[in-house]
Structure 1
């Protein structure tokens, strides 16, 4: 097994310090009247918490005599992110044969530990599906991260075989299984089932029922060779991705070239799976034509009996050239699954309440790493629709959205005095995204009121005040709101200010003196600020570069600020970047990273 452990003063100041408290007061005051305030938070890219559930009873000796299910589980593990996902394993017969609690993946070594555990699984007599499902649910309940996407992947033939000596009945098993399925559904644990049917004795319906009841999907195969492909589909389905077929080739003993297109800079990982019955050899060139070693710093390699998986970490946008040499006449399937750092959000609506006949302008944006994406070509390569669900009738209207700029936009007309759920879906050939739903109401009781109801008459101290005093309070409130509005506008303007130009990056190894090929990073996609680590494609070994932050300056300038322990040089001399170092077009600086003995060479161009 080849693997790679990826290494990795005065009044102005007072005014700005008062703004957060002022804005907090304003938000608390107006929150009940607005719609969409919850959209301010930006979650991190989704991670998976997966339990791999496998039947290891003796019946599997016929339905999966070559233990290809083990190979499929290993491939699923290899496809997970290099860091952050969690995986647990439950192997069952009529009891829990072996179990591994959720393990967070932080390195290639963690993945190898899981695969070694799979290789050590033994088979035993009898089968009770309820035992396995119940335990898989328990593993997720005991260790799943609330911010992760949980799921169970089950590989079995769907048949029970009870030990008569225990007196266990099908009715008892069904009752226990239904309880476990109810718990899985309530907790949001979809079960993806893979029916193994090499001997033609698959109980397809029983496995399909498990998936249907929990919101998962059911697969089955007559050939265990299909399992890696199915696992790819489950992985893609759960993270709202799509498998991109690259090309199928027949080995001829020589290298054959296929193109792997990385469509944009928001790709966190590209998983290239190569499935064949015989060993293959691979070579890789990046979009500049430079040959990239497999494995290397940002290219991970995993191999097993039936597949090779190449994982590109934060790959450069463009056409990568993959060269494959296989055994003559061996069929080689190549698939591609991207993992994106992209989130889709609907812009906050002006109100949550409308009336029949109103037209609501809808705008939706993509976000990458918490920053709004402004690359218009990314929007134009996608198809977007507004899904407007009438909550009173259950019908859903699909409204195509315009994507000619750096936004998805359209209009929804309220046709009835009903409640509606609005959601945007955008997709292209390799993935899709859906926004969180927004609910609006056109019920007569709330239309035009913003959801507020009239307060009954009661004794109110303000009502007894003179009209002039009431006017005083109104004017004072308006002034306070205007001041808060100006402060909010200034903060928003600063946070969303754009960048111009690009930065040329080279990385020099101080131990060998070697430099990487220059990379040109356009800055137009960033807003407000970004750090050097983002430009370096979030390579774990260069994490120290997070301490160097860029913000936009005046007149197409760039401001660079460094944290403690970072050395910045300009023109061969140390520069104080702790308070902000201004860069104009053509300026060059170098940043020394002491933890890895590497120097980052930067040139700013406009």
Structure 2
């Protein structure tokens, strides 16, 4: 075994020890949902026969379909429960990986049947069960419960039984951190609002009440935005004149992953879209997903360029058209570790935070423009919460506050912009005397130091060396994971059926750290989803390492290029990747 192998063998347990020490700090600093902002959602809808009167045009179906269309092009999971006083139909959580998956769900919604009774407990309980059996680790769960009335139970069911089932379901949702968003369609004015508000309040969801089904698409948009700490941005609405009418769509910064533009109209519309340079975008295309129904049209623009876009909408004359925008961000707010979490009343606590995108501290100063931030301090003894305003800089958030009393506290930082709201994970503080870790560590006296045995000294030295080695190892791993690229990749897509090629796309690599997938370089187009496991990493001497964990065939110079375990690509190398799910190939050339 050579020296490198010996060092690595010694450092592995040291690294494990270091991670064990650092994990509590990481847990405190990492925001909830920072690893994966995908959702696991269950739509639980009342399909009692009374819905035929309160929702004559089946707008609730269209609203649910719009929620499906707003989901990310890949990675979210959505299930559905149709209930009366029993489960009429159910669809387990379906992974959304293509337009066909969304269409499958929407077709299921169109075929929902009706029944004579209503038991809200059934809708809540079954939705929780669907999430329990199919939720994805790391995904953020939610339930949307929709109903138009009060319980109307069959003769074999008592209200007490229904209440008990509802209480049990709410408790499960609380324990598993599942917020329930309730929608009450109060068409006849008899809706039991208190029950729906209780369900949402106790599970940290939100309750929405409307007297008309026409508002349901708007409400579903707000639920989607609220769950991801986003905001619905109303765009200019108008009364159609039968011609194309202009609407400005502003993409505020480069961190927007998706722009969801929902156009609500009871009659069909035509749309055109122009990017900030004035170039008309093909609809649909790899970068613009378009869906339409009898109640809405939805444009999902993937990785849109920053600037002012122009949307043109042509509606039926005198038809009222409302337009909303919801941005999807890969954006988290991270609090820097505090100097100490053990304090005294009157101590001043300095706090700092920053926005993070793609796992890296963002360099986009535009994200901080117009931002408002505060330190949210909750007294765990009195349950009172105070907010202290913080200062916004070009690269972060900073400020301080004083600890008022000898109590336990929970601290988080909140940042709110025009289009999004983000919060850090909470951190526990204590200002109680004798609290956990509250006693300062006294320095050993000379007598005590002299009393230490050689065995203790040896153990301390070995521990210090192991920890130092672990730090060096961790630092090396961190640098490797965040190593920068040099140069750019030139990408062309060829249709093997027609022979047509796209124009060369130049992708600068210095915007990425550690790795980038071919799917990212292809703007996350659903058509090329199979390329998400074709990964480029920075290599030695300004090269690029290609790792192919897909069935796609990679060629270089006319020969198969086995990159399963990684292959080096040098300057001016050109490779060809034959896709398996579509009859297309991708050529990639590396330029320094």
Corresponding residue of 2:545: 561
Q: Which residue of 2 aligns with 1:53?
A: 44
Quote the residue 2:373 is aligned against: 384
Could you tell me how far 1:70 is from its partner in structure 2? 1.3
Q: Return 275-284 or 110-119, whichever deviates more.
A: 110-119
What's 1:198 paired with? 187
RMSD between aligned residues: 3.6
| CA shift for structure 1 position 281 | 0.4
Give the structure 1 partner of residue 531 of structure 2.
544
Mapped contact 2:239–2:318 kept (Cα < 8 A): yes
Are residue 263 (structure 1) and residue 249 (structure 2) matched? Answer: no
Q: What is the total number of aligned residue pairs between the two structures?
A: 577
> Does structure 1 residue 141 correspond to structure 2 residue 125?
no
Aligned to 1:368: 357
Q: Is the partner of 1:430 in helix, strand or coil?
A: coil
Tell me, yes or no, if structure 1 residue 100 matches structure 2 residue 91.
yes
The SS at the match of 2:112 is coil
**Pair 1:143–1:452, CA change in 2 (3 A):** farther
Aligned to 2:415: 426
- How far did 1:236 drift? 0.9
Residues 166-177 of structure 1: pairs in structure 2 closer than 5 A: 166-177=155-166
Q: Is the 8 A contact 1:345 1:365 kept in 2?
A: yes
| 1:386-415 deviation line (CA, Å, top 9, x unaligned) | 222232333333233333232323334334
Distance in structure 1 (CA, Å) of the matches to 2:440 and 2:300: 50
SS in 2 for 1:101: strand
Which piece of structure 1 moves more, 154-163 or 226-235?
A: 154-163
Larger deviation, residues 376-385 vs 325-334: 376-385
Q: 1:333 Cα deviation (Å)?
A: 0.9
> Residue 241 of structure 1 aligns with which residue?
230
2:516 is the counterpart of 1:530: yes
CA distance 1:255–1:589, change in 2 (3 Å): farther
Q: TM-score, normalised by structure 1?
A: 0.84
Partner Cα distance (1:56, 1:372) in 2:
47
CA contact (8 A) 2:554 2:560 kept: no
State yes or no: 1:336 paired with 2:325: yes
1:121 deviates by 1.9
Say whether 1:593 aligns with 2:585: no
The one of 70, 77, 97 equivalent to 1:79 is: 70
Tell me, yes or no, if the aligned pair for 1:346 and 1:363 is still in contact at 8 Å. yes
- The structure-2 alpha-carbon separation of the partners of 1:465 and 1:210, relative to structure 1 and needing over 3 Å to count, comes to closer
Offset at 1:145?
Answer: 2.7
Q: Aligned pair 1:281/2:273, yes or no?
A: no
Match of 1:507 in 2: 492
Q: How much has 1:107 moved relative to structure 2?
A: 2.0
1:202 Cα deviation after fit: 3.0
Which runs of no fewer than 5 residues in structure 1 stay unpaired? 1-8
530-539 or 415-424: which moved more? 530-539
Name the SS for the 2:276 alignment partner. Answer: coil
Aligned to 1:297: 286
Question: Relative to structure 1, is the Cα distance of residues 489 and 392 closer, same or farther in structure 2, using a 3 angstrom cutoff?
Answer: same
Assess, with a 3 A threshold, how the Cα gap between structure 1 residues 323 and 40 changes in structure 2: closer, same or farther: closer
| 1:99-498 → structure 2 map (5 Å cutoff) | 99-163=90-154, 166-446=155-435, 471=457, 473-498=459-484
**CA distance in structure 1 between the aligned counterparts of 2:384 and 2:536, rounded to whole angstroms:** 48
Query: How far did residue 53 of structure 1 move?
Result: 1.9
Distance verdict in 2 for CA 1:215–1:143, change over 3 Å: same
> How far off its partner does 1:81 sit?
1.7
Give the deviation of 1:113 after TM superposition.
Answer: 1.9
Q: How far apart are residue 340 of structure 1 and its match?
A: 1.6
Task: Provide the secondary structure at the position in 1 that maps to 2:118.
Answer: coil
| Per-residue CA distance 1:358-417 (angstroms, 9 max, x = gap) | 443323233323233232332345332222223233333323333323232333433433
Distance across 1 between alignment mates of 2:439 and 2:483:
32
| 1:444-472 CA distance string (max 9 Å, x none) | 214875798999xxxx9x99765x66555
CA distance in 2, matches of 1:427, 1:145: 28
Superposition TM-score, scaled by structure 2 size:
0.85
Corresponding residue number in structure 2 for 1:65: 56
- Gaps (5+ residues) in structure 2? none
Report deviation, 1:329.
1.5
The aligned residue for residue 4 of structure 1 is none
Whether the aligned pair in 1 keeps the contact of 2:14 and 2:467 (CA below 8 Å) is: no
Q: Which residue of 2 aligns with 1:5?
A: none
How far apart are the structure 2 equivalents of 1:568 and 1:317?
Answer: 36
Does the Cα contact within 8 Å between 1:530 and 1:551 map onto a contact in 2? no
Distance 1:521 1:450 in 2: 55
Shift of 1:332: 1.0
Alpha-carbon distance change, 567 to 369 in structure 1, aligned in 2, over 3 angstroms = farther
Distance in 1 (alpha carbons) for counterparts of 2:495 and 2:89: 48
The aligned counterpart of 2:16 is 24
Relative to structure 1, the CA distance from residue 580 to residue 175 in structure 2 (aligned partners, 3 Å threshold; closer, same or farther) is closer
